[in-house]
Structure 1
Amino acid sequence: MGRAGKALKQVLETYSISQNQVAVKMGIGRSNIYRWVHEVRDPGAEMVIQLRDALHQINPTAAEEFVQLYLGHPPGDGDEE
């Protein structure tokens, strides 16, 4: 448990994005974001997609990094040559 939460926490800290900003973009309570960031609960697959979309609206680079971290691929460690 916690891969999405760890990825989200890192991205929020790196890009200075507040839990509230994400919650507002997603139309959910900040307490949900708090639970994910602190690994109390994992977001479901649909919520992970909504998280990515919300982050993309705030900062597209943050959204990309979230996806990479969530999938277990550090940013810049892709298959591009």
Structure 2
Amino acid sequence: MVEQPLLRVKEAAQLLQVSKWTIYRWIDEGRLNATKIGGGSLRIFRVSVTALVEGNRTDPRPQEPTPHLKAVPLSGRRAMKR
């Protein structure tokens, strides 16, 4: 399925897990970009939703995979207790 570049207010609210009123407020504040289409229906640009999520991410995605730790065998008295 191809992602649509425009979202309905309800779709954006579900995606961001907020109320539709929060979506309207974020549009008014400039946090989300939207456009009106025929008949005055409001649509939110998906790229602005993505930008909002990425800009507020608290767990930055690592650029490179975390290296695996190497197992080191125990030696001496600690090894004998096991």
Report if TM-score (shorter chain) is over 0.5: no
Q: Which protein has greater RCO, CA pairs closer than 8 Å, 6+ apart?
A: 1
- Calculate the TM-score normalised by the size of structure 1: 0.30
Name the one with the larger strand percent: 2
- Calculate the TM-score normalised by the size of structure 2: 0.30
Name the one with the larger helix percent: 1
Larger gyration radius, structure 1 or structure 2: 2
